[in-house]
Amino acid sequence: MKTVRDIDVVGKKVLLRCDLNLSINPGGSLGDNFRVKVSLPTIKYLIEKKAKVIIITHFGRPGGKIDPAYSLEKIAKQLEKFLELPVAFIDDCIGRRVKEKVNALVDGDILMLENLRFYLGEETDDEVFAKELSSIADVFINDAFGVSHRAHASTVGVTKFLPSVAGLLLEKEVNTLSELLNNYERPLSVVIGGAKISTKIGFIQSFLDKADHVLLGGALANTVLHAKGIAIGKSYIEKNMTEEVNKLTLTDIKLHLPVDAIVSADKTGKTADIHNDVIGKTKENDLILDIGEDTERLFSEILINSKTIIWNGPLGYIEVDAFAHGTKAIAETILSSGVNSYIGGGESIAYLEKNNLLDKFTHVSSGGGAMLELLSGMTLPGVEALNI
């Protein structure tokens, strides 16, 4: 895979695909800055090489329509703070005004274009949109590992019209995770959380075949418990996934589900009825919102005795502190064990960064879904497009 080091970018207009899809706090302010930080090496490299840097990224899910709440202007200002350099911004990503702005750039300038997902053509990999996007540049660099599992206009489409290589972050992610996939110490334990099992069931099945332990938490564990006929009250589940979940070997001794849970009648964390329940005893009007104390101990014992740990997704409703204890406890267990540990997933990373728990992981991946697919042995369209 060729990288930015393999091409001449001096004086060139470089279209740089980053993943700056930052989390948003309840009040609307930007959350974590992890994705900004990991994007800096490639941006700084291009500046040092006197390239004209044109940054493209997405933010949120505006559905192909202009939505001021998802404008990138505030992210451009955030990037400016970390670079300590001016970052110009324009409120569009294609068209005459954009071309004029790009043509006015001088060597070392940085320009951020508006949210790619304001156009439907981005997620459909529309060739007309991709051609228009690529028409402003001489070279394309993909440094957005977090969306490289998507065949979008800005990850695949533009590679048909421009010389295309990987950025430093994409190179690091692919090399690190490919090495992990092919060479890991056992016992291997995999922790999988989050809300939707539909996006992770292939990964779960893949690691039931190769890992020593697969530990499930978060709302996706509710769907598995429901499929086994266990009472989960009014907890969130993906009802349409029951048949698919039942294809898993649910009796596999490698598969570990919560044995107890923190439950409540609502998700506010303010009610007095938050309590620990044994799995199967959840009342009809209660919600499972975190793993319980016994599950923390069970999972921790498995992880302490592991040699390699992969983790994707929170184990509870971490938006509320009352239901984040399990996620924090498991993070602290992993870090105190000193084993090789690999973590991915935007929600988990945002929470752990906020609580100063990221630094000691062996590798923190900038992509959740992309990490899962690569470790499942799948090819990533955005990476494959660079190898043509």
**What would the mean pLDDT of 245-272 be, rounded to a whole number?**
89
Spatial strand order of the sheet with 308-312 comes to 255-256, 213-216, 188-192, 308-312, 340-344, 363-364
Average pLDDT, the chain: 94
- Check: CB of residue 133 under 8 Å from CB of residue 115: no
Question: Tell me: the pLDDT tens digits for 103-121?
Answer: 999 999 999 999 999 999 9
pLDDT for 342: 96
**SS3 of residue 263 by DSSP:** strand
Q: Which residue has the higher pLDDT, 50 or 251?
A: 50
Give me the mean pLDDT over the 182-191 stretch: 95
C-alpha pair distances (Å), 1 with each of 53, 129, 198, 383: 21, 26, 31, 8
pLDDT-derived band at 360, boundaries 50, 70, 90: confident
Least confident range of 68-77, 151-160, 186-195, 245-254 = 245-254
- Least trusted range by pLDDT, from 38-47, 168-177, 241-250: 241-250
Q: What is the pLDDT of residue 48?
A: 98
346 belongs to an annotated ligand binding site = yes
Q: Which of 172, 183, 44, 58 is nearest to 108 (CA)?
A: 44
What value does the mean pLDDT take over residues 357-368? Answer: 92
For the residues 134-159, what does the mean pLDDT come to?
Answer: 98
Q: What are phi and psi of 109, to 5 degrees?
A: -75, 155
17 is in an annotated binding site: no
Share of residues in the chain with pLDDT > 70 (%): 99
Task: Check whether 39 has a pLDDT greater than 80.
Answer: yes
Evaluate if residue 29 carries a pLDDT over 80: no
* DSSP code, position 30: B
pLDDT tens for 148-167 read 999 999 999 999 999 999 99
Q: How confident is the model at residue 57 (pLDDT cuts 50, 70, 90)?
A: very high
Is the model's pLDDT at 1 over the cut of 80? yes
101 is in an annotated binding site: no
Distance, in Å, from the CA atom of 287 to the CA atom of 308, rounded to the nearest integer, reads 32
Residue matched to tokens 């069970």: 298
Same CATH topology for 4-172 and 184-375?
yes
The 10s digit of each residue's pLDDT in 188-244 is 999 999 999 998 998 898 899 889 999 999 999 999 999 989 999 999 999 899 888
DSSP 317-363: -TTSGGG-HHHHHHHHHHHHHT-EEEEE-HHHHHHHHHTT--TTSSE
Q: Where are the domains of the chain?
A: 4-172, 184-375
Starting at the edge strand that comes first in sequence, how are the strands of the sheet with 287-291 ordered?
Answer: 275-278, 260-264, 287-291
Q: Supply the residues annotated as catalytic.
A: 35, 196, 346, 369
Q: Assign 27 a pLDDT band (cuts: 50, 70, 90).
A: low
Sheet strand arrangement including 52-56: 88-89, 110-112, 52-56, 13-17, 139-142, 164-166
Q: Is domain 184-375 given the CATH code 3.40.50.1980 in the classification? A: no
Residue 70 token pair? 């998802």
Is 256 assigned a ligand-binding role in the annotation?
Answer: no
Annotation-wise, does 250 bind a ligand? no
Beta bridge partners of 340: 308
pLDDT digits (tens, 9 = 90+) for 275-303: 999 999 999 999 999 999 999 999 999 99
Instruction: Please tell me whether 117 is known to bind a ligand.
Output: yes
**Is pLDDT at 4 greater than 70 in this prediction?**
yes
Q: Using CA atoms, how far apart are residues 127 and 148, in angstroms rounded to an integer? A: 17
- Whether residue 146 contacts residue 366, with contact meaning beta carbons closer than 8 Å, is answered with yes
- 348 labeled part of a ligand binding site: yes
pLDDT tens, residue by residue, 298-320: 999 999 999 999 999 999 999 99
CB 15 within 8 A of CB 134: yes
Q: Provide the pLDDT for residue 31.
A: 72
pTM, two decimals, is 0.92
Residue showing tokens 């506010």:
268
- Whether 20 has a binding-site annotation, put simply, is yes
Mean pLDDT throughout 74-88? 96
For 208, which DSSP code? H
Distance CA 187, CA 137 (A): 48
CATH class in words for 4-172:
alpha beta
- What is the per-residue DSSP string for 179-201? HHHH--PSSEEEEE-SS-STTTH
